[in-house]
C-alpha cells in the first residue's frame, strides 16, 4: 500500500498513541492528547483588486498548553485544511517539549494561493485573519509566527492589526518572526535550517560520518531548503550535489555552489536550469546515493513507494511530516538514521522563543544559544534510544516529549495520568 496521501492528523494521532502504549501509560493520556484543546475555523473576506469580494477559509488550532502558551506558525497555502493545522499544532506541542522550551503547540493557516495575490490583497488577508482570531491569541495565550508562504512583513501587519483591534495597546510579543526594526531577533530567518545543520553535525558523529565533503541533497528550496544548502556548505563543509523545487531539480556530482544557486533561484524562480548542474527529475533526487538528505518541502515526500530506493545515510526532516509511517519502517530496516521533524526543524521555535523573551542578542549569541539547545535535545534523544534498545530517534522524540507533557499536566492538576 502506498501512503503518499497519508492524512497528517491521523498520522499524528497514530504516533502519539503508539508512544503512549510503548511507555505503558494510561489510555487517558492518549485521550487528552489526541485532539486540540481548541480549533477555530473562520471566514476572512477580502475585497480583491478586481473589486469583487472573496471569502477565504482560515484556521487556528491550539493543541496543548501544559508547558506554556500555545505557539506556532501561520501558513498561506491552497492545501491548508482543518486536519493539517490540527496535526501541525500537535507536532508543535511535542516539538517544544523536545526542544526544552516552555511553550505549547498551536498552528494556523489560510487556504489561499499567495502567488496570485497582490501585496494589498495579502495585507488585507493578514489583517482580516487577526480580526477573526484576536479573541484566541495574545502574548501570554497564543503567539503566531511565520510559516509556509508567510514572512516578517506579514507578521508586521498582523502585529499592527492586533494593536488596532486591541484599542491601541502596543504588544510586540503577540507574534514572533517580526522584522528587526519592529522587535525581531537576529538569526530568525535561517533558524530552522541552522538547527537542522546542528542536528546533522551531531548525528554524523554517531554514524561516523565526516561532514567535510559529505554529499547533500535538498528536496525543496524555499526558506528552509535554501539556508540548509548554504549552511551545510559553509558551516559543515559539505558538498551540495542536488537541489529541487516545485518545478524541477538540478544535480552536479562535483557540487553546486549554494549561494550562487540561491541567487539564481531568486532571479529566475527555478533551479532546474542552473548552469552549474544538470537537470534531473524531482523523484530522482530522493534516490541519490548521498550522505545527507534534507526533505524541506511539504509532507509525505518519502512514502512506502519510494522509501526502498532512498540511499541517504542520514535524513534530516526540515519539513513537517515528510516521511510517512510506512516509509519509517522501510528506512529503519535499511539502517537510515532519520532525524525526526520534532528535533530537526525545532530551530525555528527555539529562536522564536528567544525573540518572545525579547532577548537583545547579536546574531552570534543567538546562534550559540540555538546550538546549545539543539545539541542538548539531540543528546537527550540519542541517550533515550540507547537506554531503550530498538527505539528509533522518532520514537524517542515522541516518548520523551509525552513524558514531559504528562509530568507538566500532573503538576498542574489536570489529572492523575
| Catalytic residue positions, numbered | 107
Helix (H, G, I), strand (E, B) or coil at 336: coil
d(CA 239, CA 236) in angstroms, rounded, equals 9
Euclidean distance between the first and the last CA atom of the chain, given in angstroms as a whole number:
36
d(CA 150, CA 75) in angstroms, rounded, equals 6
d(CA 56, CA 42) in angstroms, rounded, equals 8
Nearest 5°: the CA angle 135, 139, 143 is 80
d(CA 341, CA 320) in angstroms, rounded, equals 6
Residues in the chain: 417
C-alpha pair distances (Å), 375 with each of 96, 99, 380: 15, 10, 9
Report, in angstroms and rounded to the nearest whole number, the Rg of the chain calculated over CA atoms.
Answer: 21
Put the strands of the sheet holding 239-245 in their side by side order.
278-280, 248-256, 239-245, 215-219, 292-295, 314-316, 337-339
Amino acid at each position: 500500500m502506498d501512503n503518499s496521501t497519508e492524512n497528517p492528523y491521523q498520522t499524528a494521532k497514530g504516533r502519539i498513541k503508539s508512544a503512549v502504549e510503548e511507555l505503558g501509560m494510561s489510555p487517558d493520556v492518549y485521550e487528552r492528547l489526541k485532539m486540540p484543546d481548541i480549533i477555530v475555523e473562520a471566514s476572512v473576506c477580502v475585497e480583491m483588486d478586481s473589486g469583487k469580494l472573496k471569502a477565504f477559509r482560515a484556521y487556528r488550532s491550539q493543541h496543548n498548553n501544559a508547558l506554556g502558551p500555545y505557539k506556532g506558525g501561520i501558513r498561506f497555502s491552497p492545501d491548508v485544511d482543518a486536519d493539517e493545522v490540527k496535526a501541525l499544532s500537535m507536532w508543535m506541542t511535542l516539538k517544544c517539549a523536545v526542544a526544552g522550551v516552555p511553550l505549547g503547540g498551536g498552528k494556523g493557516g489560510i487556504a489561499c494561493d499567495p502567488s496570485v495575490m497582490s501585496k494589498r490583497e495579502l495585507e488585507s488577508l493578514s489583517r482580516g485573519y487577526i480580526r477573526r482570531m484576536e479573541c484566541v491569541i495574545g502574548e501570554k495565550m497564543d503567539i503566531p509566527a511565520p510559516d509556509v508562504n508567510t514572512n516578517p512583513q506579514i507578521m508586521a501587519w498582523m502585529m499592527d492589526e492586533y494593536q488596532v483591534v486591541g484599542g491601541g495597546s502596543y504588544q510586540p510579543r503577540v507574534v514572533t518572526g517580526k522584522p528587526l526594526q519592529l522587535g525581531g531577533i537576529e538569526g530568525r530567518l535561517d533558524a530552522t535550517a541552522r538547527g537542522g545543520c546542528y542536528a546533522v553535525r551531531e548525528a554524523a558523529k554517531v554514524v561516523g560520518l565526516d561532514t567535510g565533503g559529505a554529499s547533500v541533497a535538498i528536496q525543496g528550496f524555499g526558506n528552509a531548503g535554501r539556508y540548509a544548502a548554504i549552511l551545510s556548505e559553509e558551516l559543515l563543509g559539505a558538498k551540495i550535489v542536488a537541489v529541487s523545487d516545485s518545478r524541477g531539480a538540478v544535480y552536479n556530482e562535483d557540487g553546486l555552489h549554494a549561494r550562487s544557486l540561491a541567487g539564481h533561484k531568486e532571479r529566475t524562480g527555478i533551479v532546474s536550469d542552473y548552469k552549474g548542474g544538470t537537470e534531473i527529475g524531482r523523484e530522482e533526487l530522493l534516490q541519490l546515493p548521498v550522505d545527507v538528505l534534507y526533505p524541506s518541502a511539504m509532507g509525505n515526500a518519502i512514502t512506502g513507494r519510494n522509501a526502498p530506493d532512498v540511499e541517504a545515510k542520514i535524513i534530516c526532516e526540515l519539513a513537517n511530516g515528510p516521511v510517512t509511517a510506512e516509509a519509517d519502517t522501510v528506512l529503519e530496516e535499511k539502517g537510515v538514521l532519520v532525524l525526526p521533524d520534532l528535533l530537526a526543524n525545532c530551530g525555528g521555535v527555539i529562536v522564536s522563543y528567544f525573540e518572545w523573551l525579547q532577548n537583545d542578542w547579536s546574531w552570534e549569541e543567538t546562534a550559540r544559544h540555538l546550538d546549545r539547545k539543539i545539541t542538548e535535545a539531540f543528546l537527550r534523544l540519542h541517550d533515550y534510544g540507547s537506554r531503550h534498545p530498538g527505539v528509533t530517534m522518532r520514537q524517542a522524540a515522541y516518548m520523551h516529549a509525552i513524558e514531559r507533557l504528562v509530568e507538566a499536566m500532573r503538576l498542574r492538576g489536570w489529572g492523575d495520568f
